[in-house]
Structure 1
Amino acid sequence: MKRSILFDTETTGLDPATGDRVIEIAALELIDDLPTGRNFHVLINPERDIPPEASRVHGFTLADLEGKPLFAAVADGFLEFVGEDVLIAHNAPFDFGFMNAELSACGRPTLDRARMVDTLVLAKKRFPGLPNSLDALCRRFSIDLSERTTHNALLDCKLLAEVYLELMGGRQRGLGLATPAAGGNVASYQIQSGRIPRPMPEPDEATLAAHAAFLSSIKSPIWQR
């Protein structure tokens, strides 16, 4: 089984190099690209103000985060949850940049970008020239957006999990219309299509008689021309 972690952050702004901080982390566990129900979710006191323009995006003000833990207090829990598995995010360099700035600041190991899967890159390859925001992808895949009034990290993760599954081929990506290639065999066809052929039962005498009667009722059948 392949384990991967899909995660998202909300922040006080756009650039950790100018002092912006993480205020929310959400992460979902996937096994073979499907959510297991296990998740990691925390709100964080950023130890600084939250500009109004950022609050308009995610809905949080500093008052909402009073009494919440500092990043250093949740860092180990996050690292334990993600383990060494693949890390999936939409516009992943943004989330990796913020998380690594926070992890480095509190003396924890940073996230290796070799683990990064960026669903924005996947979407641009599949839908070049089209809008590929999370909202746009949800609409394209008919995923319900009714609860997304702000950029809540946990809800965004749940939506992105559905988007990621569609980008990877959907729940039935093993099913297809492939037929055995020349020189191929039934076993390879079964693997490609996900189908297991079942033998047809031999028709009984009554079925054969009914079929013969039906054929005799056809005027000028093409197989007799």
Structure 2
Amino acid sequence: MPGPSIKICGVTTRDALSATIEAQASHVGFNFFPPSPRFLALADAPALAMQAEGRLTRVGVFVDADDAALGDAVAAARLDAIQLHGKEDPARAAAIRTRFGKSVWKVISVAGPGDVAKADAYAGVADFILFDAKTPKGAALPGGLGLAFDWDLLRAYKGPLPWGLAGGLSPANVAEAVRGTGTSLIDVSSGVESAPGVKDADRIRTFCFNARTA
């Protein structure tokens, strides 16, 4: 059985992108949420988009963004997919998919079984579900905090859409996560950093190796 797809999220520099490519990841995440320490300015996006061309699937990460912001980022970063990490409901996901003609990923924040079931509402309006850990009330960011949830909640999940796993993943636990959930994609950000927003090439390499050989 082939290993899962691997997304390194929150890449902001050419060096980090080079490490992602060399580690044979499949996807790169460009974060367009300004409060994040991994925020990618539009002016810096075209160079990274060109570097990733033909090597990685480019996924833009957004939190309740309007159409203008989405359009600017889609153009600047030549996005292949739009990841919705806010409170976007199925109707909003459908509208974005129709307007931009890109694959739409919806992040579902998970703390318990009822949260996992919310993914079913996006059948037919999104293309992919990403299960992530629910952040504490009052948190400044909706993700990227290194938090995990109980992966057993996904062990028997048979939803209508393909799905991936995020939240609290690291080189140390990614193999366990892959084996325990059977996920088709794993998404990591803070787990391969030496400081918030600073990607570490060795951690990226080890993460990808451990994921593929789980």
Q: Greater share of helix residues, 1 or 2? A: 1
TM-score by length of 1: 0.29
Q: Greater share of strand residues, 1 or 2? A: 2
